[in-house]
Copies of this chain bind each other. A is one copy, B any other.
Amino acid sequence: METEETIRTRRSVHQYSDEPLDDETLTELFDRTRRAPSSFNLQPWEFLVVRDDDNLAELQEIANGQEHVTDAAAVVVVLGNLDPAAHAAEVFTDWAEKGYLPNQEEADGLTQHVESWREQDTSENRLWTAKSASLAAMTMMTAAWDMGIASCPMGGFDGDALTETYGTDGYEPVMLVALGYPAEDADDLEREQKSRRSVEEITHFESFEA
């Protein structure tokens, strides 16, 4: 699908067909998702894919009982690594090898710089990882729509319960994204699209007035 059409027609869908999302389809989806940009290309994202019915039922409880969690073919838990330097050495070595940095010494210096962020407040590192993980989540939803797969991002869930259930200490549970081929008669597809604030309202030139 043309990019403009993908962006303009994508919408959150809450009702899905019974068609599963197979491994091959998900591999293709994440092969696109991983192209997202991130802070210093550090790619702090991890994607926990839940398709098993029992696991989806458990996840539904964590997500305040939202119905479409169990209706979805898969729910992706988008996680953000709270250690900014987790992949720093390999990322900056890649930069040096490809000419983005003049030499390995500069790469090592950058790695040390990013390692110093470990001393930041946890709230800063949560914010840091949530931004990059959200860029990837949006890329995933855009890619999915292009592949005929509907999505619905969810922010309403018990983060502590999720961390405990899946043992994801050290990772921010950024959002859940339900995925599935849309049901033919999905309500969301039959209704008028939800409104968006106008371009005039959201853009400000050179100075800001709320």
What distance in Å separates the Cβ of A127 from its nearest Cβ neighbour in chain B?
A: 6
**For chain A, which range describes its interface: under 10, 10 to 19, 20 to 34, or 35 or more residues?**
35 or more
Chain B positions within 8 Å of A203 at CB level: 26, 30, 46-47, 49
Q: 0/1 per residue, A91-108, Cβ < 8 Å to B?
A: 100110011100000000
Neighbour of A142 across the interface among B7, B45, B199, CB < 8 A = B7
Q: Are A134 and B138 also in contact (CB < 8 A) when A4-B32, A87-B197, A166-B208 are?
A: yes
The closest CB in chain B to the CB of A50 belongs to: B206
In chain A, positions 45-99 with a C-beta closer than 8 Å to chain B are 45-52, 55, 79, 87, 90-91, 94-95, 98-99
Complex CA–CA separation, A50 to B208 (angstroms) = 10
Residues of A at the B interface (CB closer than 8 Å) are: 1-4, 6-8, 10-12, 26-27, 30-37, 39-41, 43, 45-52, 55, 79, 87, 90-91, 94-95, 98-100, 123, 126-128, 130-132, 134-135, 137-139, 141-143, 145-146, 153, 155, 166-168, 170-171, 174-175, 187, 191-192, 194-199, 202-208, 210
